[in-house]
A and B are shown apart, each in its own frame.
Chain A
């Protein structure tokens, strides 16, 4: 009997452990198409609009993409796929020769989820699923809901059942013991039962440990950080609607490590003439209040020391103290020109869809894992840059078809002293 009882204990303990673990695992990997799309694709693609890459809405009607296998092959290794495919070659040509980044880590199911998301979103139209009306209903199927809650509730119910059964079991045992005259100890209330206490401690330890580690890992990271800036400067208005090139104001990326926040004189190049905000869309702050664009331009004049009435500088300017959004720790060396000039990366790859943001928020988490992942996946512009001629072995391997491309990792892009010295 006592043997059985310990088996039961083990079973209960085991199932609790499994449930608590599955709870953790689930939160970590519960991603749907939208989330994957936003993390992997949104930097260059939108569903409806051309951005760095083509609009993805209705992609299955175009090119070879009705064949899902081909789509997998393309996403996993664009360079290899393009070699034998005229459609994608055309795509590259029509997008300033920019090559799609490969995602060899994306599982086929994940790609399916992305396509599913694109199709549903596209069908719903640019305004999103219509709040009312007939045809919206059919396609506005909820994207796969988050199952965490369901699993949590299930775990709880099962735990309660297990507890009750255990309690019943022990009561029954006591009754049968009493009946058979076997002396038994007084029943211990469950809150003083060492087994339960131990289980609770272990559960608390696991949950607490998980959150402590997550907290520690996230220390100093500030994804989606969107501080209020001294002037409500809308990138959407400047870079999106008015299509001012990023490099017009941020002059640094091609020269050196810093992208440079533009100095006030750069703003004044245009704003000497543009002194009011009337034509653009209404702008809203995070708290929902509307922004008076003209008033914000006046703030700029104050900083610049610009006397609008006389059309001249008063000489009493002061620099603007912007709040810095993208912060890297001191022990990380990051150089914009390496990525923008040599790697030919688009600003959006790391900074997100800036042209859609009013006040900028931090798009990527800027963690080391995020950097490393990109370095693992990104192909080096190997053929076009004479510098890489020193990698004779890789050229040989490409010629012999041993490898089809060279990633940043292969030329030392994930070594410690690439970034830390």
Chain B
């Protein structure tokens, strides 16, 4: 019988030759200077040259020794601000605002520079937690983006001419504005003060209007809610109140609306109480493997054109009184039956969400939720959500008006239609007919360079402001740093041009002082960062089902053809593409494809075979990917492909947000392909799929995709992942502890103490604190926020695409994506996906420590596997000997930390990508955490358990004489995790969360990766439990005890 297997790539699944070659070496290439094949004297560095170098470097050292140390200055303040102490961090509550999203955050400011963002746990919008998304984490880097415009400019023939912010400029523009009917084109605005400013501005210019335009449209949902509930707005979804969750095409854990909030709610239903194992059931219907689909209990492959039919069938099955078209696919049919019966059995605790932007489909989804009693429970209308307000028709009308010459002036804020409007050419031609166009965007992006003036808006960390993501839930913004550049809030411009003398900062303060009833209340609100009700109330809205019949008829008329279909999706990292110049996000591996720095067409294995692409070693191990010519909407498009398990065989998927223009900056420009022109804008609302993929053929060309899927392999040691079905776990909850007992029986025959007896090495004692981490694989959604948080906290370098391609990626924390399937069934519904955050396990019996010739890596008395960079001589033995492959080597001077300037362009590594230069700009380097060493070339680095935070917490505890201060210290990854999957603390403290999890609350699920090789990790994992009837995991009895024993002897 074929056994179910965990695998990360096809090579691993089939254990091919190329894969074996790949895993043999930790490092894929030798240092070129040691190429000895032609004999020593012919080598690039023969013996004589070597001696010359030795002689020279000795002499150089002697000369250097004689030199005087540089004179350093210490310049104190002239007048030191009170409460500010150099070297001591300060924390300011503010609000992250971008494209309608509003997340209350806390900015850590060191010596006047914001360096880290955390969620504000005062806010219900963050579910009272500190978790954030990767994009919020990385927003601090955007502050120091070198591509930000540093002064207002006038665009003359696409060239920027610097302007001064002055009264004269304001008079000039106000003069040009007068007599026109201005249109204000912005992304969704939730700020009450900004809305008021806009209203006052438009009052001065009668006939003007405000158009909100979202890069990714939610018009369908907004319009459907208007029909069903009479309000053109969004509810707040409560995934934590749902026992059954059905999602049709909605990536609610990754990119759909307020996904971090949803992930946090979702996880609360997935965390298992082992005494009474219960968890929510999540069923996903989708065509492309999304982050959400990867987390689902059961997943059914559908085509985007079938979305309506599925919703209609579900509604019919639940007794919605509509006729539903037949579903051809048997599996999907069964899936609908299962979903309907489960939803029906859990009325009042069920939720259906749908990612479609078709208002008719969403009307039907509303009807389903109404039948399920979701209104007022899992769909809460008490405080409508305002984060998306754009209506596609209004934007389309604006472009029409512009082209017909009816728009005389256009003011653009945080909108970039020249890049992300489906008919960008139409917008651009219309813009040329507009007499006065002003852009407030922060850089000379695709739209701004076509405007007449650019007056850059400051970054949110430099601004005063507010946001009202949900009605009555306000987040306040305060500057954490002085304006870096000559920027001005666009609200100030509107105020000045409408004849007011105040600027927006004053306006904002006045508004809030009045609203809150005094300066004291305002100060208090600023300090907490939010103004919110004491608790979240629940309310329903009266439902109107009148639109259902009409919608059902329209949806039923949509027919699926036989063509392949294209899905345009967002990547968790880049999203709509506004942050495309953020190197952290560009280098973050996509949770599913594990690719960085590009977009590509994801296709199924079946389609790859059809295209004649052999899914052999060459395909998997090499980064050169075939380029395929697709005919989409009648036009041929050549794009690189990635074959991905878990795709519908007739679906291809391409991410939006790539293919930005030069103006976006060094890192983001010309990365990937712009997919926005493929958005279908023919209907009343945009649709993000195309049924018109008529042809595809392999061009025979290749394109390099830097993906990390085949990096860091375990050589088939699958024990790193453990997964059970809920039923199995209920039946045999002690499978994992039982395994541990077996290990003790086998390897500790005398004492039964596996830890002490099964090794020849001494046992490390931890007399004081002993740090440990527990990671719940059930709660981890794989979103990658931890990776970025780690990058920000620990100054992890960005290496660029060319280096990722060479396996030189530097992330200290990666999220491994495992597929679980039978060898012959790599696709389809039986595929399970498991995410596993992998970082240094801080083994108490660490294989890396024994092999270091200079003891640069050694063990601390607190259980840390320490790394002393200055001691490291770069032999990389440790990385070779690490079973978890978590050690990273600095192949080049990625950070500019070396004293030798040419180490970034050194022959061995080749030239580095321009993004490395961007990261080493003096401006960008302001984001570096001063408490963490910036590593230079030639040393190994890895996760330190955020030792700087541990030492800081210990110091605080010593000062306050209170050991409980170190009980639950937070590492950066833990703090950023919205789902609370990561728990860290002092395991020697019996009151600590991590101790309780391991010993009482979750001891049945607690396992250690590769436990049998006796490395004694300080990170434990909680086994993944899936609420499904399908077989899951590798069955214990099939495992073969002999295999385990053999491994242990290695």
Contacts and interface: CB of A to CB of B under 8 A. Distances in A.
Interface of A: 212, 215-216, 218-220, 222, 227, 251-252, 255-258, 260-266, 303-304, 317-324, 327, 330-331, 333, 335, 337-338, 341-342, 385-394, 410-412, 415-418, 420-421
Contacts of B947: 417, 421
10 contacts: A215-B65, A260-B86, A317-B79, A322-B74, A342-B958, A386-B962, A388-B768, A411-B767, A417-B947, A418-B951
A76 to B, nearest CB: 24
A2 B898 CA distance: 58
Nearest to B58: A212
B839 to A, nearest CB: 15
B79 A322 contact: no
A338 to B, nearest CB: 5
Interface string B953-985: 011011111110100000000000000000000
Given A323-B73, A341-B959, 8 more contacts: A252-B85, A260-B85, A263-B78, A333-B951, A337-B959, A386-B963, A420-B868, A421-B948
Given A222-B69, A341-B959, A331 B870 contact: yes
From B77, B768, B858, B932, residue with most partner A Cβ within 10 Å: B768
B76 A319 contact: yes
A405 to B, nearest CB: 14
Nearest to B857: A416
B797 to A, nearest CB: 16
Interface string B112-128: 00000000000000000
Contact of B73 (A216, A257, A321): A321
B689 to A, nearest CB: 49
Contacts of B905: none
Given A264-B79, A320-B75, A415-B866, A255 B88 contact: yes
A421 B767 contact: no
Contacts of A338: 955, 958
Interface string B973-1013: 00000000000001011000000000000000000000000
B72 A324 contact: yes
B969 to A, nearest CB: 13
A317 B78 contact: yes
Q: 4 smallest A-B Cβ distances: which pairs?
A: A215-B65, A258-B87, A263-B80, A256-B88
Nearest to A421: B947
B769 interface: yes
B76 A261 contact: yes
Nearest to B961: A386
B58 A415 contact: no
Given A331-B933, A337-B959, A417-B860, A323 B72 contact: yes
Contacts of B933: 330-331, 420-421
Contacts of A319: 75-78
Contacts of A418: 951
Interface string B857-883: 010111010111111000000000000
A264 B76 contact: yes
Interface in B219-252: none
Contacts of A322: 73-76
A307 to B, nearest CB: 15
**Residue of A260, A266, A330, A338 contacting most chain B CB atoms (<10 Å):** A260
A397 B958 CA distance: 21
Contacts of A266: 80
Given A387-B961, A391-B768, A321 B85 contact: no
A280 to B, nearest CB: 24
B437 interface: no
Given A390-B988, A420-B869, A252 B86 contact: yes
Contacts of B954: 387
Interface in B910-956: 931-934, 944, 947-948, 951, 954-955
Given A255-B85, A258-B86, A387-B963, A417 B866 contact: yes
Given A256-B87, A390-B768, A416-B866, A320 B58 contact: no
B61 interface: yes
Given A330-B933, A390-B769, A212 B61 contact: yes
Given A337-B959, A386-B963, A420-B870, A415 B861 contact: yes
B77 A263 contact: yes
A248 B861 CA distance: 37
A415 B75 contact: no
A206 B806 CA distance: 45
A216 B61 contact: yes
A324 B88 contact: no
Interface in B57-76: 58, 61-62, 64-66, 69, 71-76
Contacts of B934: 330
Nearest to A406: B767
A256 B90 CA distance: 12
B87 A220 contact: no
Contacts of B963: 386-387, 389-390
B87 to A, nearest CB: 4
Contact of A335 (B868, B955, B986): B955
A212 B65 CA distance: 8
A410 B870 CA distance: 23
Interface in B760-789: 765, 767-769
A417 B858 CA distance: 10
A252 B87 contact: yes
Nearest to B61: A216
A416 B871 contact: yes
B955 A385 contact: no
A421 B959 CA distance: 21
Nearest to B856: A416
Contacts of A264: 76-79
B948 A333 contact: yes
B65 A218 contact: yes
Contacts of A215: 62, 65-66
A417 B864 contact: yes
Nearest to B85: A255
Nearest to A417: B866
A384 to B, nearest CB: 8
A325 to B, nearest CB: 8
Contact of B961 (A219, A260, A385): A385
A321 to B, nearest CB: 5
Contact of B76 (A260, A386, A391): A260
A90 to B, nearest CB: 27
